[in-house]
Structure 1
Amino acid sequence: MTTGELLIGRHGVRRLGFGAMRLPTKPQEARKNAVAVARRAVELGVTLIDTAHLYGWGANEELLAEALHPYPDDLLIATKIGVARETPTREADYDGRPEFLRDQVEQGLRRLRVDRLELLQLHRIDPKVPLAEQLGALRDLRTEGKIGHIGLSEVTVAELTEARKTVDVVSVQNKYSLLDREHEDVLDVCAAEGIAFLPWRPVFPSVSSGLAEIAAVAAETGATAAQVSLAWLLHRSPVMLPIPGTGSIAHLEENVAAAGLRLSEEQFRRLDRLRPG
């Protein structure tokens, strides 16, 4: 199986992206390095970068705009909304009220310096608001041209099925890795329906597990445990698009190089037999 490209809506993107969550926005020296990491990701051919309003309450989006705007034509910036910041009287919490989602979209447009958020994902479903109302608000924003495509994050099969009654869902971003396969059923539905699956935390805990099988495959391929874990994900399903994050250029380069690592069927099966715990 080759990594190739994956179609997300009308965007063809390479199947190994970059998660920007771990890019610090301050102090100034750390921010300067974060800008360099984001720019290096694009230089290495990454065509999907994931961010969110939650990451620094918009500061991460502003950092990406500083680093990359005007964006290359083939770069897809995916952001997420639906989490309200803490206040003196309230902890941070999910907020799926249509007026709140609309406000966060407007903020995202300003921070990312774009006229349309090409991939907008609902960070979490708010159990206090009917799902059809939350997604109806996003559908309206898409009709207005402020959103290109809609995705979901951390959803079950039932939630994904229900959501698709209201909007076209082009991506799902759930936690998933070689040693964390809680959402195997969601991945299977995405594969059957042609929905991009963006696993977050795609290499942990594989890199720290100390499992002999992972170490053995790494030795056989001349790769690292992180690269083997990413290669397993890419082999696992054609809709898989891992988004490993890092604040280090060296780790970024290591992760991106995993797109060129090919596991044999025998190596894939050996890793596939590993299970959490």
Structure 2
Amino acid sequence: MSEQRIEQVRLGTDGPLVGVQGLGCMGMSEFYGETDEAAARATLTAALDAGVTLFDTADVYGRGANEEFLAPFVAAHRDEIVIATKCGIERTDDPTHRAVRNDPAYIRRCAEASLRRLGVDVIDLYYLHRRDPSVPLAEAVGALAELVERGLVRHLGLSEVTGPELREAHAVHPIAALQSEWSLFSRDVEDSAIPAAVELGVAAVPYSPLGRGFLTGAFSDAATELTADDFRAHLPRYSGDNARTNTALLDPVKRIAREHGITPGQVALAWAQQRAEVHGLAVVPIPGTRRPDRIRENTAATRLRLTADDLAALEPLAAQVAGERYPESMKFTSASRE
């Protein structure tokens, strides 16, 4: 076991205690190119040894394959971990089909399928992955609340919602966690959702806190450096002129890393962890990795402290980022129906 385990924090006012950093498992099955399954399984073990207890997946990752991949690990450590999964994005045999569904019947079917794939009797944290405006939010959250009442889900979360939507949902059933992209390069969540989370006692779970690897310097132009099956090659801010503009923004990140004797990725994660103090709420980033050595690097960032001067140097970066988070082709349409 690791000598230094990360601290714990509670998700929501009555949610589970988890390590102050979680693990995003999406890339272990899809989206980031070829995966070494043995290395990915070793990464899960390394994360648990370091005190990571929140493991994040979704039914859409590999169309269920990621949940199935996690099932043996979950079974072996069921009482030690908190398993989070999500519903609300529909995928079919058509690879171009990307739709969001929030209708209650679909939510119920998704939950039952996730339970089977994960091999568990109850999901610890169940998120609505995306909001479908064609379905009243109270109706969708009501369906999630029914899963809690049936004992199939312990706690609820929402992903990528606004402050008003978070308040509306919380009025139907307590929400433990708000999951949104939140990093040095993506801070839109601070406009309304984070203030609402602070008000309601909801924890923040930032995904892509490393900017999908860009903030670490792992690549500088996704279109030319990454494989064709890596979806980052299709994200506007990581290729071409946008990538060149955004690479220049990494200069203060690299400088701070040199001054502290740490990596740029650790700077980005330390910044994300310190949002807890800046905003006054629990923050549990879920960086994704498939390598055990990265687990040690990432979790060490929970013990780092950036200075006031460091934070001031990093403050303007997000406003200068070029390019949208997603292209038009990856934006969702509504597919909800009874």
TM-score, structure 1 as length reference: 0.91
Shift in alpha-carbon separation, 1:276–1:57, aligned structure 2, 3 A: same
**Alpha-carbon deviations, 1:150-207, whole Å to 9, x = none?**
0000111121122122111110101110121111131232123221111111111433
- The letter of the residue matching 2:252 is E
Aligned to 2:204: 197
Aligned to 1:18: 23
Aligned to 2:313: 270
Aligned to 1:34: 40
SS at match of 1:188: helix
**Alpha-carbon deviations, 1:212-268, whole Å to 9, x = none?**
221121112111111001101111224211100012222232212211212223322
Correspondent of 1:240 among 274, 280, 283: 283
Q: Which moved more, 1:39-48 or 1:116-125?
A: 39-48
Say if 2:90 is the partner of 1:84.
yes
How far residue 14 of structure 1 moved from its aligned partner, in angstroms, is: 1.5
SS at match of 1:140: helix
Correspondent of 2:166 among 126, 149, 160: 160
Aligned to 1:6: 9
Structure 2: how far apart are the matches of 1:37 and 1:113?
Answer: 20
Say if 2:125 is the partner of 1:119.
yes
Gaps of 5+ in 1: none
How far residue 30 of structure 1 moved from its aligned partner, in angstroms, is: 2.3
Aligned to 1:151: 157
Aligned to 2:303: 260
Shift in alpha-carbon separation, 1:77–1:263, aligned structure 2, 3 A: same
Q: Which moved more, 1:263-272 or 1:144-153?
A: 263-272
- The letter of the residue matching 1:206 is L
SS at match of 2:306: coil
**Cα RMSD for the two superposed structures:** 2.2
- The structure where helix makes up a greater share of residues is 2
Shift in alpha-carbon separation, 1:47–1:89, aligned structure 2, 3 A: closer
Correspondent of 1:188 among 186, 195, 203: 195
Gaps of 5+ in 2: 1-5, 218-246, 321-338
How far residue 67 of structure 1 moved from its aligned partner, in angstroms, is: 2.9
Structure 1: how far apart are the matches of 2:300 and 2:172?
Answer: 38
- The letter of the residue matching 2:216 is V
Correspondent of 2:216 among 190, 203, 207: 207
Structure 1: how far apart are the matches of 2:183 and 2:257?
Answer: 16
Aligned to 1:221: 260
- The letter of the residue matching 2:18 is V
Structure 2: how far apart are the matches of 1:89 and 1:248?
Answer: 28
TM-score, structure 2 as length reference: 0.76
Aligned to 1:67: 73
